[in-house]
Structure 1
Amino acid sequence: MSAVPAPATRPDPRDLTGTGLDEAWVTDLVERTLAEDLTGGSPLPHAPDQAVAHDVTSAATVPATQRGTADLVARADGVVAGLPVAARVFARLSPSATIVAGAADGDVVRRGDVLLTISGHVRALLAAERSALNIASRASGIATATRAWVDAVAGTGAVVLDTRKTTPLLRPLEKYAVRCGGGSNKRMGLYDVAMIKDNHVAAAGSVAAAVAAVRERAPRVTVQVEADTVAQAVEAVEAGADFLLLDNMPPDVLRAAVAAVAGRAETEATGGLTLAVAREVAATGVDYLSVGALTHSSPILDLALDLRPA
């Protein structure tokens, strides 16, 4: 486990540099997430104090001028992700808040570690609490699960990939979390990689016809073809596929498919993969293992906010 650097070495915890997350997308996510909790989805008031006033519990029980400090704390061991987005949630409702990082995305943390420390108006901290935790817990859960897969195939040369099986409207965050866990992203959507599956082949008439049609319409796009058998894998690579999705093949068949392809296309194992067989599958020589469960089934990492009123 890597040691967590001292907070003094941390950059601004709200900085998105190096995350690959789009500034406008993150701003919109923060707005929508807070609006869901504070206004039932109606546009969030621009003025922070007006937005915070929608937290009926805190508005009734916390003096408007009361200040305090809150620690965002890990309640379980794991890999953290989404901290810059969580920090922006707090900053949206308390622009003058002081936010100090105790960890960075991608760090391995232990139960009890402080990930962020936020000092500001207590009403704002409490109004932002659940939205910030939901984002960071979800992203950290994905990063933690991804790291387990990456560790399972370490040394084999195989790379762990995600899929398009993401939570609607959260794909950039969830795929970022996969990267924080040491995995890689496959395609972001239907626009950046062509994935020819059985229905496309049926519509086009053959694998070769489907590949040719994609090449004609989108010549610069990577073309991936799904194969269920070694023969289909060979047919696809001979048709000009760049990438083969080897679907639900047992290890011995995967090994044969990799040998038959002989480096003419990249190979990806998918379908029915579990951590228990990850290393065996990786040892067949495939370039990638794609795991939909990283984004559709990872449990959250338990995080909490501990408040210290001034």
Structure 2
Amino acid sequence: MILNGYNEELVETIKGWLREDVGAGDVTTNVTVPADSKSKAVIHAKDHGVIAGITIAELVFQIVDPELRYTPKVNDGDAVTPGTILAVVEGSTHSLLTGERLALNLLQRMSGVATRTRSYVDALEGLKTRLVDTRKTTPGHRLLEKYAVRVGGGANHRFGLYDAVMIKDNHIKGAGSISEAVQRARAVIPHTMTIEVETENLTQVQEALQASADIIMLDNMRPDRMREAIALIREQAPHVKVEASGNVSLETIRGIAETGVDVISVGRLTYSFESLDISLDLNEKKEG
């Protein structure tokens, strides 16, 4: 079964989403479609884009009805055009219609993230700068959206507040200074965990360098100021990674990358995407 090998938490989350949608039952299907009806459904793209979530859609249908037969016609990461058949699902018409909306919602959203990510990756073609996402994800969808970023060719920043130290402006205010914040963090975290410091000007960059930060983020800096900051960092601590962040768009990302930063984080990958237009059509009824 497809359920084997999937994250148990994800399976339970999808079951919860189905309960939210189906409730006590699919009233319309129950009163209009014979209980023994069998159908073949075709999932197809109605837009240009990059597909992500083809197996997640399968998981939805499997949870609804393990007897449904799901045949993918594309793989995650494939570029598609309008009319491309993504998958075929066969079995109980009731089950197909019950799982349709959630399967499409997830497939559309994830493909939208992958498509947006691919456009940013393409803008960086030929450069060594790495594109990463942020924690600006839809609540409950982080695992899926961050997976979709990887499908689109990007990489993941930290998954949550638990897997890296990232000292931002409010942490600095709370601790009193960058130096104090880094010192407190270094005293208690494991040696395998990195410390990143968000900086807004050259004075803060210098303080982060003196505090021995592992990664320095240049937040909302102009490209010319970024070059100054990078020159300072490369001179004093060439091993330190440099990340750029803040209002990065398709129009500005290449210019930012050309300053020499190692990483660019883009929140728009997961909070400002447009879902891909994907539909499911019953195109063939089968004898029960």
TM-score by length of 1: 0.87
Residue 248 of structure 1 is matched in structure 2 by 220
Report the AA paired with residue 61 of structure 2: F
What secondary structure, in the 3-state scheme, does the structure 2 residue paired with 1:120 have? strand
Residue 142 of structure 1 is matched in structure 2 by 113
Residue 9 of structure 1 is matched in structure 2 by none
Residue 161 of structure 1 is matched in structure 2 by 132
Residues 16 and 142 of structure 1: is their aligned pair in 2 closer, same or farther, counting only changes over 3 Å? farther
Work out the CA distance in 2 between the residues paired with 1:145 and 1:29.
Answer: 25
Work out the CA distance in 2 between the residues paired with 1:118 and 1:219.
Answer: 48
Q: What per-residue deviation string (whole Å, max 9, x for no partner) do you get for residues 171-218 of structure 1?
A: 111111101100010000111011111221222222111101011121
Contact 2:130–2:264 (CA under 8 A) maintained in structure 1: yes
Map 1:175-186 onto structure 2 (within 5 A): 175-186=146-157
TM-score by length of 2: 0.94
More relative contact order, 1 or 2 (CA 8 Å, 6+ apart)? 2
Residue 34 of structure 1 is matched in structure 2 by 18
Residue 228 of structure 1 is matched in structure 2 by 200
Work out the CA distance in 2 between the residues paired with 1:279 and 1:293.
Answer: 15
Indicate whether 1:174 and 2:145 are aligned. yes
Work out the CA distance in 1 between the residues paired with 2:86 and 2:233.
Answer: 46
Work out the CA distance in 2 between the residues paired with 1:114 and 1:251.
Answer: 43
Work out the CA distance in 1 between the residues paired with 2:68 and 2:149.
Answer: 29
Query: What's the offset of the Cα at 1:286?
Result: 0.4
Contact 1:15–1:84 (CA under 8 A) maintained in structure 2: no
Work out the CA distance in 1 between the residues paired with 2:163 and 2:34.
Answer: 51
**1:86 corresponds to which of 52, 57, 62:** 57
**2:70 corresponds to which of 99, 104, 109:** 99
Work out the CA distance in 1 between the residues paired with 2:239 and 2:202.
Answer: 14
Work out the CA distance in 2 between the residues paired with 1:154 and 1:212.
Answer: 38
Indicate whether 1:276 and 2:251 are aligned. yes
Alignment gaps of 5+ in structure 2:
none
Query: What's the offset of the Cα at 1:234?
Result: 2.4
Work out the CA distance in 2 between the residues paired with 1:237 and 1:126.
Answer: 58
Work out the CA distance in 2 between the residues paired with 1:68 and 1:203.
Answer: 60
Residue 192 of structure 1 is matched in structure 2 by 163
Residues 227 and 16 of structure 1: is their aligned pair in 2 closer, same or farther, counting only changes over 3 Å? farther
Query: What's the offset of the Cα at 1:231?
Result: 2.6
Residue 237 of structure 1 is matched in structure 2 by 209
Indicate whether 1:265 and 2:240 are aligned. yes
**1:114 corresponds to which of 80, 85, 101:** 85
Query: What's the offset of the Cα at 1:98?
Result: 1.1
Residues 84 and 15 of structure 1: is their aligned pair in 2 closer, same or farther, counting only changes over 3 Å? farther
CA RMSD of aligned residues (A): 1.5
Work out the CA distance in 2 between the residues paired with 1:139 and 1:237.
Answer: 38
Alignment gaps of 5+ in structure 1:
1-11, 40-50
Contact 2:129–2:260 (CA under 8 A) maintained in structure 1: yes
Q: What per-residue deviation string (whole Å, max 9, x for no partner) do you get for residues 36-78 of structure 1?
A: 1001xxxxxxxxxxx7xx0000111111111111111111010
